[in-house]
Amino acid sequence: MRQIEIFDTTLRDGEQAPGAALTAAAKLEVARALAELGVDVIEAGFPAASDGEAAAVRKIAQDVTGVTMAALARANDADVDAAAKALAPAQRKRIHVFIGTSDIHLERKLRITPHECLLRVERAVRRAMEHADEIEFSAEDATRTDIHFLGTVYQVAAAAGARIMNVPDTVGYAQPDEFARTVLAIRGALTAYNGGIRVSVHCHNDLGLAVANTLAAIEVGASQAHVTMNGIGERGGNASLEETVMALRCRADWYGADTRVHTERIVPTSRLVSERTGIPVQPNKAVVGANAFAHASGIHQDGVIKDPRTYEIMTPQSVGWEARRIVVSKLSGRAGLAARLAELGVPLHGEELDNAYRLAMRRADEVHELDERDLITIAAEARRKAVLAPATLPAAS
């Protein structure tokens, strides 16, 4: 089975989500949780951004062990030096150098020529090589860059010493097949390195395709995926860790690939990131949303009670939930209600259950979802009614 490296950028691109800024203590706490989760690389931050950010990255580099620690740097001396300094205490250090390469980035943002861009790539990667165990290079806005120029950019980065070539779909513009072709073209431009280069991808979610694009790239040989917990990140966010990892795990038959992530740590880590960033997880979010293992319709409830595999492709426990959730609402059937009551320690059968079902449906017309209090009250009432009017008694003549 192919191992895909998980490069977690929750603490860098994730933190670029509006409103997500973390304190240094929170960053450290999240970094520890990511290391426990089993990611391969943690991008701890962008040290050139501020002294506080540099100090936070340094603290993480010092305290969090067992993973490769990465820091982001633009392709200039000052950024590379800031990243090197912040990463200095890390067990294994990776400087992630990037520069915009599309016409729009070169002409409108950086105001440099393609040739100047290549010179900057070469200089920055060479400088970074002096300070880190490995260099990852990203051509920002790769998916809107002329494909021939893009190949040249990666060749220059490789000649200067970078061995991990990250392909960012910075603005979430690529379509899966198209992105796969871009990745193949870059691999093609680097064949001289005889497999000595690892290709990585970094996908944004502006069109909701970040995970699909990441998986499409993995299918054509990318061996590292940039992800964030809960998919947080700039604008529409990044490819989410939980979806990417679980797609590979659940469909190992398709991808023939897996990661080292301890998937049962996913939900606790998701909660921590949500709490510390203040960004809630939408209820219908795959894997980590509150509804990911909730069943509301009677038909589905009946199915999962008989065999969970009827409507679940992974177990809740495999990703860190305690249990699936049977939601009692107007859509529920008797089987769902019975299961929920049993869970609450008030199992009902026969007439008691019939009574409870009638009462529950009446209550369900008033509320969206019956809560524990509703259900326990209903169970008590259903039992009382059954005692007062036992169906087994012969009718009075």
Our CB check for ligand KIV shows the closer of 15 and 81 to be 15
- Dist CA 225 CA 135 (whole Å): 16
Contact status: 224 vs ligand KIV (CB under 6 A): no
SS3 per residue for the chain: CEECEEEECCCCCHHHCCCCCCCHHHHHHHHHHHHHHCCCEEEEECHHHCHHHHHHHHHHHHHCCCCEEEEEEECCHHHHHHHHHHHCCCCEEEEEEEEECCHHHHHHHHCCCHHHHHHHHHHHHHHHHCCCCEEEEEEECHHHCCHHHHHHHHHHHHHHCCCEEEEEECCCCCCHHHHHHHHHHHHHHCHHHCCCCEEEEEEECCCCCHHHHHHHHHHCCCCEEEEEHHHCCCCCCECEHHHHHHHHHHCHHHHCEECCCCHHHHHHHHHHHHHHHCCCCCCCCCCCCCCCCEECCHHHHHHHHHCHHHCCCCCCHHHCCCCCEECCCCCCCHHHHHHHHHHCCCCCCHHHHHHHHHHHHHHHCCCCCCCHHHHHHHHHHHHHHHHHCCCCCCCCC
Our CB check for ligand KIV shows the closer of 151 and 168 to be 168
Taking CB under 6 A as the criterion, the residue among 170, 182, 205, 213 binding ligand KIV is: 170
98 interacts with, out of Zn ion, ligand KIV, none, CB within 5 to 8 A per kind = ligand KIV
Contact status: 13 vs ligand KIV (CB under 6 A): yes
User: What does DSSP say about strands 134-140 and 164-169: parallel, antiparallel, or unpaired?
Assistant: parallel
CB of 97 to ligand KIV, least distance (A): 9
Contact status: 138 vs ligand KIV (CB under 6 A): yes
Strand partners, 6: 225
Our CB check for ligand KIV shows the closer of 174 and 327 to be 174
Our CB check for ligand KIV shows the closer of 212 and 292 to be 212
Residue pair 287/246 in contact by the 8 Å Cβ criterion: yes
CB neighbours of 146 closer than 8 A, spacing ≥ 6? 102, 103
CB of 352 to ligand KIV, least distance (A): 58
Q: State the number of binding residues for ligand KIV (CB under 6 A).
A: 9
CB of 325 to ligand KIV, least distance (A): 35
CB of 166 to ligand KIV, least distance (A): 6
Residue pair 370/378 in contact by the 8 Å Cβ criterion: yes
187 interacts with, out of ligand KIV, Zn ion, none, CB within 5 to 8 A per kind = none
Our CB check for Zn ion shows the closer of 234 and 302 to be 234
Contact status: 182 vs ligand KIV (CB under 6 A): no
Contact status: 43 vs Zn ion (CB under 5 A): no
Map residues 56-95 to x or -, x wherever contact with ligand KIV holds by CB under 6 A. ----------------x-----------------------
140 interacts with, out of Zn ion, ligand KIV, none, CB within 5 to 8 A per kind = ligand KIV
Contact status: 140 vs ligand KIV (CB under 6 A): yes
154 interacts with, out of Zn ion, ligand KIV, none, CB within 5 to 8 A per kind = none
Q: How many CB atoms lie within 10 A of CB 288?
A: 27
CB of 289 to Zn ion, least distance (A): 23
CB of 204 to Zn ion, least distance (A): 6
The residue sitting closest to Zn ion, measured at its beta carbon, is: 13
CB of 203 to Zn ion, least distance (A): 8
Taking CB under 6 A as the criterion, the residue among 187, 202, 340, 363 binding ligand KIV is: 202
Our CB check for Zn ion shows the closer of 233 and 316 to be 233
CB of 203 to ligand KIV, least distance (A): 8
Among 276, 260, 259, residue whose Cα is nearest residue 268: 276
Contact status: 168 vs ligand KIV (CB under 6 A): yes
Map residues 7-26 to x or -, x wherever contact with Zn ion holds by CB under 5 A. ------x-------------
Name the residues that contact ligand KIV, by CB under 6 A: 13, 72, 98, 138, 140, 168, 170, 202, 204
Positions in the binding site for Zn ion (CB under 5 A): 13
